[in-house]
Structure 1
Amino acid sequence: MPVVTGQSQWNGTFKEGTGTLSTTTSGTIREAPYTYASRFEGAPGAIPEELLVTGHAGCYNHALANIAFKAGASVESISTTAQLTMGTDDQGSDGHGYSVEGIHFVVVADIPGITDDQFVELAEQARALCSISKILTVPITLDASRITTSPATEEEA
């Protein structure tokens, strides 16, 4: 299996410093700047946690497509928004650290040939089995809805 790498550079203090984030395996993101303000105050710049949930959404979509295929269904489309909730804890050097409290998926998919109950089961399997989900210990929740652009079969009705 391939090794996937990312790289970050940071210069300066926690609040006044600046850094960059790069996806070194693919080169898709090159030295995207980030700061304390971009992470926690809404200033322009990259957010490491945003990159995590973006990758998690992509991993989830791929897992759902694979699980649906193995179940005999053909995927037309899957759109997933991953929402990461930031929080605080007492782990910082000043007693105030930052944490990830949870990730919530909002999924809309067009997977003809399955029932709504089957879709929910496949969506939950993908949530649990996505490789990024497996490494995270925060709660990862899900809202999944199915759209159908094809006419319903007798089994779906």
Structure 2
Amino acid sequence: MKSVGYATWVGTWKEGAGTLSTKSETLKNSAYSFSSRFEGTPGASPEELLGAAHAGCFNQALANNFGMIGVVAESITTSVTVDLGYGDDGHPAIKNVHVITQAKVPGLGEEKFQYCAERARANCTLSKIFKCEITMDATLSVM
């Protein structure tokens, strides 16, 4: 399976603007700019999309880990914060990634939950592409 993303850009790095889209049209011509990436103004950012993609990947990995020990999640909710800053060389860099996940899993104890969450944090497909620390807070909801 090959997934395709598209981007357009017109102008300089700081004053220009562009759009982000996907072949599936899940995302279609979403505006982005220097200020939406680095200054928090309205608009999309590649890092925000990366966070959403990582959260989705993590949830599937966690559900798979649960299945390998014979339990099924009632729910898994995850947010991923991608911290974009500047590296030692002065160029933009992803400084760290932080996963916050909460799951409701009947019959699962805290120790096995933390094992499954840590395994998903370290091994989901998108976790493997980051060259920075990925931290996590994982909470098992009490039934």
TM-score, normalised to structure 2's length? 0.95
Q: Which residue of 1 aligns with 2:109?
A: 115
Q: Which residue of 2 aligns with 1:8?
A: 7
Counterpart residue type for residue 18 of structure 1: A
Displacement, 1:40?
1.2
Verify: 1:99 aligned to 2:93, yes or no. yes
Displacement, 1:90?
5.0
Distance 1:120 1:67 in 2: 11
Distance 1:90 1:136 in 2: 17
User: How many residues are aligned here?
Assistant: 143
Alignment match of 1:50 (pick from 48, 51, 76): 48
Verify: 1:135 aligned to 2:129, yes or no. yes
Q: Which residue of 2 aligns with 1:63?
A: 61
Q: Which residue of 2 aligns with 1:34?
A: 32
Larger Rg: 1
Counterpart residue type for residue 12 of structure 1: G
Q: Which residue of 2 aligns with 1:84?
A: 82
Q: Residue 42 of structure 1 aligns to a residue in which SS?
A: coil
Counterpart residue type for residue 48 of structure 2: E
Q: Which residue of 2 aligns with 1:155?
A: none
**Structure 1: runs of 5 or more not aligned:** 150-157
Q: Which residue of 1 aligns with 2:22?
A: 23
Q: Which residue of 2 aligns with 1:124?
A: 118
Q: Which residue of 2 aligns with 1:74?
A: 72
Give the CA RMSD over aligned residues.
Answer: 1.1
Distance 1:89 1:101 in 2: 7
Q: Which residue of 2 aligns with 1:152?
A: none
Q: Residue 131 of structure 1 aligns to a residue in which SS?
A: coil
Structure 1 runs (4+) greater than 2 angstroms displaced: none
Counterpart residue type for residue 74 of structure 2: E
Distance 2:58 2:27 in 1: 20
Q: Residue 120 of structure 2 aligns to a residue in which SS?
A: helix
Displacement, 1:148?
3.2
Distance 1:44 1:135 in 2: 27
